[in-house]
Copies of this chain bind each other. A is one copy, B any other.
Amino acid sequence: MNSTIIAVDAMGGDFGPSVVVPGAVDAARERGLKVLLVGDRQKVEEELARIPLDGVEVEVVHASEVAGMDEKPSDILRRKKDASIQVVCRLVRDGHAHGIVSAGHSGASVACGMFIMGRVPGVERPALASVMPTEKQPIVLLDVGANVDCKPHHLFQFGLMANAFARDLLGYETPRIGLLSIGEEEGKGNTLVKEAYELFKLAQNINFVGNVEGRDLFTGEVDVVVCDGFVGNVALKLSEGLSSSMSRVLKRELLSGFLPKLGTLLARSAFKRFARVVDYAEYGGAPLLGLQSIAIVCHGKSNAKAIKSAVNMAATFVEKKTNERVVQAICANEELTRYGKAVRQ
């Protein structure tokens, strides 16, 4: 394989091939990648026929099944051997692609990624990271849902992995890593966070800045925020919900009356920029950290722009060999992780 090859689950997401195919093709054209579109051959080819493909390296790989949103991840893994999400993972495992993108069933994506592509040796729990917009630069929040019940050494490894990803994605030489808690001082938080703090304090080669609070997520004073998957998922969905609600309220208030309407018209360009700042589609998807290869999990509601961003993100991590730095960080802190595990149990 010379150029970077990304395998994309074309059947995933609320809109399936109609947004995944154009999004993936756009990324392939812009960046000179090769994409493998995996799914029902007929449906994928129908979508391909609608768009110009000059100079784009794209290949369709047939998969006869689709993971249903109401199915359990374990059932999909065990029974649907030809589901598109299983096929993309096997393409990577067997050396036909360097990374995957999926907007389908996120539980199934995590399960297939873990069991088919496999974990980086030493990583106890892969974690799902979200790149969130803030007032200044974006931040990386993890875990946002892969692990709902965590132990301190899991949080510690999340921080080690996110360090490499944040560096390569956002270009920070030494990302500032914070632990999400309910007070800035050492010793604030629940038992999980207090014990994880002890491990971070002793860690090799990372820039741990201590606890951060919920309100610090959007001010840009930190680059990576570590928490368990329950807290992270609540935080992510709460942020999405609140920004949508605020936008709706603002719109409603602005449209109630003649003068406000005129004002809105004039301020339109400003609103557009405002909307972009809080646009979660900008970063496309959530990288699943700790797997042998790169995997990006997209929101079910993803549009073509989000799929394109996600394919680009996957290619960036492949080309920058981010996983090699994950391996280094995990190895360098192996003893400390073992210590954390022993103390806790």
Chain A residues proximal to chain B, CB less than 8 Å: 134-135, 145, 148-149, 180, 182, 189-191, 193, 213-219, 227-231, 233-246, 248-250, 253-254, 256-257, 259-260, 262-271, 273-274, 277-278
Contact = CB atoms under 8 A, between A and B. Distances in A.
Contact of A254 (B180, B215, B267, B278): B267
A148 B265 contact: no
24 contacts: A135-B245, A182-B234, A190-B230, A213-B234, A214-B234, A214-B237, A217-B241, A217-B242, A218-B245, A219-B241, A227-B234, A230-B231, A231-B231, A234-B234, A234-B235, A238-B238, A239-B242, A249-B274, A257-B270, A260-B266, A260-B270, A263-B270, A264-B270, A267-B267
Nearest to A182: B233
A144 to B, nearest CB: 9
Contacts of A135: 245, 248-249
A243 B238 CA distance: 12
B182 A145 contact: yes
A190 B248 contact: no
B253 A270 contact: yes
A17 to B, nearest CB: 26
Nearest to A258: B266
A120 to B, nearest CB: 25
Nearest to A245: B218
A107 to B, nearest CB: 9
A216 B233 CA distance: 13
A260 B267 contact: yes
Given A214-B238, A246-B246, 19 more contacts: A180-B234, A182-B229, A190-B228, A213-B237, A214-B235, A214-B236, A215-B238, A218-B241, A218-B244, A231-B231, A238-B238, A238-B239, A239-B242, A242-B242, A250-B250, A250-B270, A259-B267, A260-B266, A263-B268
Contact of A263 (B216, B218, B256, B266): B266
Nearest to A216: B241
Given A241-B219, A270-B256, A214 B233 contact: yes
Nearest to A267: B263
Nearest to A213: B237
Contacts of A253: 270-271, 273-274, 277
A260 B264 CA distance: 9
B264 A241 contact: no
